[in-house]
Amino acid sequence: MVLARRTIWCCRLPAARLIKSLCFRLFRWKPDRLRRGELVAFPTETVYGLGALGLDARAVERIFAAKGRPHSDPVILHVGDPAWVPALVRSLPPLAERAMEAFWPGPLTLVLPKSERVPDVVTAGGDSVAVRMPAHPLALELIRQVGEPVAAPSANLFSRTSPTTAEHVLQDLSGRIEAVLDGGPTTVGVESTVLDLRGPEPVILRPGGVTQEQLARVLECPVSAPGQSVDDGEPAVSPGQLTRHYSPRAEMRLFAGPDAAVLAALRHEAERANSPQTTAVLAFSEDEVELQGLPAEVVDLGSRTRPEQAARALYAAMRDLDARGFTLILARLAPHGGLGDAVNDRLRRAASGRITHVG
Ligand code: TXA
Ligand code: MG
Sorted by sequence, the CB contacts under 8 Å of residue 220 that are 6+ apart come out as none
Q: Nearest Cα to 321, choosing from 273, 278, 292, 260?
A: 278
pLDDT, one tens digit per residue, over 175-229 is 999 899 999 999 999 999 999 999 999 999 999 999 999 999 999 999 999 876 5
- The residue to mutate among 48, 89, 164, 194, having the most atoms of ligand 1 within 8 angstroms of its beta carbon, is 194
Helix H or strand E segment including 48: strand 48-53
pLDDT, one tens digit per residue, over 336-358 is 999 999 999 999 999 988 899 99
240 backbone φψ class: left, alpha, beta (φ>0; ψ -120 to 50): alpha
Ligand nearest to the CA of 190: 1
Ligand 1 pocket at CB < 6 A: 44, 46-47, 49, 73-76, 107, 109, 111, 123, 126, 128-130, 132, 134, 152-154, 191-192, 194, 205-206, 238-241
Q: Whose CA is nearest to atom 12 of ligand 1?
A: 153
> What spacing in Å lies between the alpha carbon of 350 and ligand 1's midpoint?
17
> What spacing in Å lies between the alpha carbon of 17 and ligand 2's midpoint?
29
Q: Whose CA is nearest to atom 24 of ligand 1?
A: 74
- Which ligand 1 atom is nearest residue 122's CA? 26
Beta bridge partners of 32: none
> What spacing in Å lies between the alpha carbon of 195 and ligand 1's midpoint?
10
- Which ligand 1 atom is nearest residue 190's CA? 1
What gap in Å lies between CA 152 and CA 176, rounded to an integer? 15
Sorted by sequence, the CB contacts under 8 Å of residue 15 that are 6+ apart come out as none
- The residue to mutate among 39, 72, 76, 142, having the most atoms of ligand 1 within 8 angstroms of its beta carbon, is 76
pLDDT of residue 226: 85
Average pLDDT over residues 241-263: 84
- The residue to mutate among 129, 238, 242, having the most atoms of ligand 1 within 8 angstroms of its beta carbon, is 238
Phi, psi of 162 (to 5 degrees): -70, 150
One-letter amino acid of 136: H
Q: Are 241 and 251 in contact (CB under 8 A)?
A: no
Q: Whose CA is nearest to atom 21 of ligand 1?
A: 240
Confidence of residue 7 (pLDDT cuts 50, 70, 90): very low
- pLDDT score of 26 more than 90: no
Mean pLDDT of the chain: 89
> What spacing in Å lies between the alpha carbon of 244 and ligand 2's midpoint?
12
Phi, psi of 54 (to 5 degrees): -75, -25
> What spacing in Å lies between the alpha carbon of 129 and ligand 1's midpoint?
10
> What spacing in Å lies between the alpha carbon of 48 and ligand 1's midpoint?
12
- Which ligand 1 atom is nearest residue 241's CA? 19
pLDDT of residue 29: 52
- pLDDT score of 57 more than 90: yes
The pTM assigned to this predicted structure is 0.91
Q: Are 294 and 245 in contact (CB under 8 A)?
A: no
DSSP 8-state secondary structure symbol assigned to residue 358:
-
pLDDT of residue 247: 77
- pLDDT score of 83 more than 70: yes
Q: Whose CA is nearest to atom 18 of ligand 1?
A: 240
pLDDT, one tens digit per residue, over 275-319 is 999 999 999 999 999 999 999 999 999 999 999 999 999 999 999
